Amino acid sequence: MSVAAVRTPVEYESRLQQYLYERSEEGRVVRVGEKEVSEQAAIVARYADLFSRGQLDGLRESAGTAEADERERLFRLCKTCEAGIVAAELAEREDELENAILAARVSYRGEELPLRAAQARLAVLPGYEDRKQLGELQSDMSARFNTDRLEVLRAGEELEAEVSEEPDAVRRNEEEKGISLEELERALAEASAAAEPAYQRLRDRWFERLLGPGREAVPASYHVSYMRRLSPLADTYTKERAVEVCLETLSRLGFDLRSQPNIRLDLDDRPQKSPRACVIASDPPRLVHLITRAQGGLHDYQAFMHEAGHALHYAGSNPSLPYTYRRLARDHALTEIYSYICEAITREPAWHAEHFGLSQEQAADNAEATRFMEVLFFRRYTAKLQFELDFWSRFPSDGGTPDGYSERLTGATGVWYRPEGFLADMDAGFYSADYLRAWIRAAQLRTFLVREVGDDWWRRTETGDRLRSLFREGTRPSSEEIAARIGFDPLDTGPLVSELSG
Ligand SMILES: [Zn+2]
C-alpha cells in the first residue's frame, strides 16, 4: 500500500494556488467561448494528491492545535480540501452534464441556437410573443437535463455530508458561513414584506412601460432579462457606450481600470460566451479577469459596475497576505458587498443625468426603473432562499423536489416562474444567502458613505480611498465584521428597506 505524502499547511496552500489557477483558467476559456469542451476532470486528476482523506486529516489536526488567526486560515484550507474531495469524485459527471448542456440546441425560426445563446437572445427580442415562444423552447430544453442535474446534486450532497461529517445541509452551510440562516431568513422576510407596497406600485407602472398593454396578468420569467435591460430605454443606454461610461464612473472614484494591468478585460462577443458577466480571480491580486458580454441596455452598465467591484476587490488585496486571505473566503458575502456598492451607482438619479444628458425628471424616472428591478430581484432572492431552506430541510426524506419553488417566487415577484426551473435556478452552497447579506450590507455601506462622504459619494475619490482600504484586507473579514466597522448590526435592514421603498 502506498501512502501519499501529507503536506504541511504552508506547502498545501502553495500547491493549492497552482491548482486553483489552472481550474480558473480552464473555467474561463469554456465560459468565454474560446473552447467547446470542458476538461476540468483532467486537472482534478493531476492534483489528486491535494484532495485525499489523509491530507484532510492532516489539515484538521493542524487546525486543532492552531492559534485563533491561524485556525481561521486552516479552517478555510480544510473546507477547500473537503470541497476538492467532493469535486474530484464529481468532476467527470459534472463535465458530462456541462458538455451536454453546451451541445444542446433549440430550433427557433430556422436557427439552431445553443441554450446559452437562446438565453442571451431573450434579453434582446423586442416582441412579447416572440420572447414567450423562445422562452418556452429554451426552458423546455433546459428542463430535459433535470434528471441529470438532480443526480449530480444528490451525489454531491451525499459526499459533502460524509466528508464534512455534518449530515444536515442547512447546519453545514451555517457553520461554514458562521451565521444563522434562519435568523437571516426572518430579517429578510420582514424586509421583503416592508418593501411590498412600494413594489406593487413600481410593478404596475413598470410592467406597463416595459412589457406593454398586451402582457399577461402574470408574465413569465422569460421576460425578466428583457426588462432588466430596460429595453425601451436602450437608445439611451447603448451597447457602444457601456465600457466608456463605466470606466469614467470608476475613475471618479479614483480607480483607473485601463492602467491596472492585473485586471484583464474581456469584452468580446462570441456565440458560446455566457451572457452572464463574471469575474474570475485566477491568482489575486496578480491576475483577475473581468468578463462581460454587452447586449445593449442599462443592464450592461450595471453588470460591468458589479463585476468591476469584484475585480477591484480581488486585484486590490494586499499581496503580502497569505494566499488563503487573497483567494479563499468562507462564502461570497464579503466580495458581493463591493460589487453591490459599485452597481448601486447606477441607481443614483444624478449619475443618469450626468452621463446620458438627461433632464432631472427623466433621470429620476430611469433611476426609478432600476429601483423597480432591484426590488424585484431582492424579493426574488428572498423567496429563493426560503425555497432552498425548505428544499434542503426536506431533502433527506424526499430527495429534492420543486415543491414551493414556483409558488414562492411567483408570489414574491408577480412573475411566473415555472416549477421545472428549480434546479437550473439553484446555486450551490446557499449562494442566495450570500447575495442577500450583501444586499443588506451594501445598503448599510451606502448610508455610511452618504454620511461620511456626502450625497455625491459615488463621484468622490474619498469613497475610492475608503473602499481601497477595505479591499486591501482581501477575503479575510466576514460580511458581519464589515457591518461592525461601519456601525451597523448585521441584520439591520433599515437602510435596505428605505432604499427599496424610495
Ligand atoms: Zn457578484
C-alpha cell at 325: 486571505
d(CA 381, CA 488): 22
What are the residues whose beta carbons fall under 8 Å from the beta carbon of 307, sequence distance 6 or more?
277, 278, 279, 290, 291, 292, 339
Report which of 26, 179, 142, 31 is spatially closest to residue 91, judged by C-alpha positions. 26
Q: How far is CA 416 from CA 61, 120, 361, 408, 410, in A?
A: 50, 19, 32, 10, 5
Residues less than 5 Å from ion ligand 1, measured at CB: 339
Using the mean position of ligand 1's atoms as its centre, give its distance from the Cα of residue 303 in Å.
Answer: 9
Using the mean position of ligand 1's atoms as its centre, give its distance from the Cα of residue 284 in Å.
Answer: 16
pLDDT > 80? residue 362: yes
Using the mean position of ligand 1's atoms as its centre, give its distance from the Cα of residue 500 in Å.
Answer: 19
Do 325 and 74 form a contact (C-beta atoms < 8 A)? no
Average pLDDT, the chain: 94
Using the mean position of ligand 1's atoms as its centre, give its distance from the Cα of residue 335 in Å.
Answer: 7
| Torsion over CA: 392, 394, 398, 404 (sign) | negative
**C-beta neighbour count of 367 within 10 angstroms:** 20
Which residues, listed in sequence order, are joined to residue 220 by a DSSP beta bridge? Answer: 416
**Per-residue confidence at 3, pLDDT binned at 50, 70, 90?**
low
d(CA 363, CA 369): 10
Using the mean position of ligand 1's atoms as its centre, give its distance from the Cα of residue 336 in Å.
Answer: 5
pLDDT > 50? residue 414: yes
C-alpha cell at 302: 450595471
Using the mean position of ligand 1's atoms as its centre, give its distance from the Cα of residue 279 in Å.
Answer: 8
Using the mean position of ligand 1's atoms as its centre, give its distance from the Cα of residue 473 in Å.
Answer: 18
Do 36 and 28 form a contact (C-beta atoms < 8 A)? no
d(CA 97, CA 444): 40
Mean per-residue pLDDT, 215-243:
92
Using the mean position of ligand 1's atoms as its centre, give its distance from the Cα of residue 465 in Å.
Answer: 21
Using the mean position of ligand 1's atoms as its centre, give its distance from the Cα of residue 402 in Å.
Answer: 26
Using the mean position of ligand 1's atoms as its centre, give its distance from the Cα of residue 108 in Å.
Answer: 31
Residue 36 per-residue DSSP state: S
Using the mean position of ligand 1's atoms as its centre, give its distance from the Cα of residue 439 in Å.
Answer: 11
**Predicted model pTM:** 0.94
d(CA 363, CA 501): 18
**Per-residue confidence at 2, pLDDT binned at 50, 70, 90?**
very low
Using the mean position of ligand 1's atoms as its centre, give its distance from the Cα of residue 440 in Å.
Answer: 14
For the CA atoms of 119, 121, 123, 127, what is the dihedral angle to 10 degrees?
-120
Using the mean position of ligand 1's atoms as its centre, give its distance from the Cα of residue 401 in Å.
Answer: 27
What are the residues whose beta carbons fall under 8 Å from the beta carbon of 373, sequence distance 6 or more?
227, 228, 230
User: pLDDT over 70 for what percent of the chain?
Assistant: 99
Using the mean position of ligand 1's atoms as its centre, give its distance from the Cα of residue 306 in Å.
Answer: 6
Using the mean position of ligand 1's atoms as its centre, give its distance from the Cα of residue 66 in Å.
Answer: 32
